[in-house]
Structure 1
Amino acid sequence: MPISIFGFQALWSPYLIGIIVFLTVVYFLVTITWRKDFKVSEPLKKSEAIYFILGMIVLYIIKGSPIDLLGHIMFTMHMAQMAILLLLVPIFVIRGIPWWVWKVVVEAPVIRTIVKIFTRPLVGILGFTGLFSIYHLPLIFDAIKLNETFHGVFTMILFISALFMYWPLLNEVDGQHEMKNIHKLGYIASNAVLITPACALIIFASSPMYLTYSDSAMWLKAMELCVPSSTLSGLSLSGPELFSNMDLLSDQQVGGVLMKIIQEIIFGVLLFRIFRKWWDTERTSQKEITENALKEFQNRTRYQ
């Protein structure tokens, strides 16, 4: 059965388009037009603008395009959606917003204390992986999927925890938690390890774990998160099997595997970039040491 039966609003989320356009306009107003109002600022870099725009595009694709609707129908798509939302979009957001804008945000009253606590490397990594694991406990997962408010609040909390987790790795704000390159490598590896149990629980389960995908009545109720109830009331649907050739258990297992694969790819790219930066820094340092030693030797020889 084609997903087009759910209508344009469910497929393309026009409200989200408006929100993303608004955020993009505000971004360029702050970083270009209103930049002079900041005590310290720099011209917006091309790379920063690209990161931010990519973040907005990816955010719309996973939360506003038919992928979001498919994420409510198939667990596989839900896990791919969550992996990109929590592991890729935060990178674009942190990198896309200039450091001088972040400085104002993270040094604001109250927020300063929250950021200082939750961006500590140990707190950041345990907070994110802990919330991610709790979210995918069947009882919690089903409760969140059946309540629009809970779903929105918990998704936002998860996203903020992902920002906190990435902050020690990516931020360029003076005075914030900063890790050495060798520690960054260990931090990313630890994160990958700590996410694994939740994925393994999903992958190796012997039966479908989530009633919002396996129970027809609960699945239909969960669909109200993205499809207007008036549209659903006019449809005769028995369950997600109408839209997929995979059985429920296979769908669940593929979702767990896909989540892990996406995580490994993103973390692998991060590891490569950090290692390359570390290597370049070490080579530059060694070159400077050698040049300074050579100059010192030449000066000593000259005056002997």
Structure 2
Amino acid sequence: MNVRRLIPSTALAGAVALGAVTLSACSGTSDAADKGNGGKLDVVASFYPMQYLAEQIGGDHVAVNTLTKPGVEPHDLELKPRQVGELGEADVLLYLKGIQPAVDEAIAQAGVKNTVDAATLTKMEEHGAEVGHDHGGEEAESEAGADPHVWLDPVKYAEVAKGVGAAFEKADPDHAADYEKNTDALVKKLGELNTAFETGLRTTATRTFITTHSAFGYLAERYGLEQESITGIDPESEPSPARVKELHAIAEKDKVSTVFFETLASDKTAKTLAGDTGLRTDVLDPLEGITDKSKGHDYIEVMQSNLAALKTALGAK
């Protein structure tokens, strides 16, 4: 998985940034939802975690178009000229800067006033020394080393949801009460999910889990776990012999039972390591997209499946 990491920002800075992108559009935006789509707010989301927020918060008042279709690896998405042109017609653009370079560039050119960057809505953190996108064989070190996978922490995802709700309210004030109500309902569901993770992972035989790549840093930090990745950021790359040897030692020392792989990337590396160490394999889904292979129909269901997989792998009691 190729990820160019994001510049860290504080929640306070996120609030200021959100205010800047939304307040500038307040003048004359009360009829933003009347431009088309049967009077609905036209929202373009960059990939599934943003799509889910838009649909849950917007409800019947929004028409959501997602740039990354089901089954497409989001980090390598390339946009067609027609898609780039259509971005400028949206009422709201919702994305996570740094995940998809092509999307970042297109959104910067679109000039849509109600543009919401989820990375400004919660505090971004570093999780290990990792390498960003590899384009043309060059490894791009991030400027500050922030991990972009905030949606895998229900608490941080809820913070992002609140910011998105506020943006919808300003873009379409006629339905502000509904957006606020829907945001509150989603935040409640995410709170219940957080409680389920806290309770389910409180007592385990081990706190260490091995994944294909390091997407679960925020989740591990939230629930006191240790994530060990085979290949770092890129799940398609091959681990070095030294890293394989190190993981063998970690698996034995920390009584690791399972090597996790994901739905949108090859399971070859995970199965090779598992075979060498006598471990089992299972899916831990980074939720970058929902497909027929996903263990659930939406964010909440797949996260519940992730929790069940972790409980089994970690020997939860």
Flag whether TM exceeds 0.5 (same fold): no
TM-score category of the 2 structures, normalised to the smaller one: under 0.3
**Richer in helix (by share):** 1
Q: Which has the larger radius of gyration?
A: 1
Q: TM-score, normalising length from structure 2?
A: 0.26
